[in-house]
Structure 1
Amino acid sequence: MIDLYVYYKVREEDASALAPRVRAMQERLARAGIACQLKRRPEVRDGLQTWMEVYPATTDAFASSVEGAALEAGLAEFIQGPRRSEVFMDLPTCA
């Protein structure tokens, strides 16, 4: 299992239009059993907010699925630049 972090920039004036789309997409994913979180950095730089979608304990194949869901939800219309993904995995526990 992996944790997937997807982050991107959003113009401050587009945040109120983007939020319901991301939440609706994540609600559909949650109904399919995917845990979802939506976060953003507290500061705004050059009129841009940084948002992050967090998907803990997913499979390796989920990254392409979430990009398909984002495309279907029309998120790109409100995102500045690319959606970037980072994958993390748990370290083994000590014995």
Structure 2
Amino acid sequence: MDLYIYYRVDQTLADALLPQVQAMQAGLAAASGVQTALKRRPESKDGVQTWMEVYGATAPEFADTLAQAVAQAGLSRYISGERHSEVFVDVVPCA
């Protein structure tokens, strides 16, 4: 399954948040082998950006690992509101 986590970031905090998320994702990739990506919407609205972390081909227990990594990285101090998680799985064609 793939995890997509999106949240809002005040654009004045974006430069401080970026290396924190990059370091966290690099650590998660090294420790668990997951594929990571970091994206954001191209536009800001009222001085706020929307960011998305992507974690590909994760095991079900990875959500707990990610939650621990987010807490250790202290990301909540940069984020406006909550982190929203979505889970997607591959579509398997019928035989």
Q: TM-score range by the shorter chain?
A: over 0.9
Q: Which residue of 2 aligns with 1:47?
A: 47
Q: Which residue of 2 aligns with 1:10?
A: 9
- What is the TM-score when the length of structure 2 is the normalising length? 0.94
Question: Counterpart amino acid of 1:77?
Answer: R
Number of corresponding residues: 94
Q: 1:4-52 CA deviation, whole Å, 9 max, x = no partner?
A: 0001000000000000000000110111112110000001011100000
Gaps of 5+ in 1: none
- What is the TM-score when the length of structure 1 is the normalising length? 0.94
Gaps of 5+ in 2: none
1:58 aligned counterpart, secondary structure: coil
When the two chains are superposed, the root-mean-square deviation of aligned CA atoms in Å is: 0.9
1:4 aligned counterpart, secondary structure: strand
Runs of 4 or more above 2 Å deviation: none
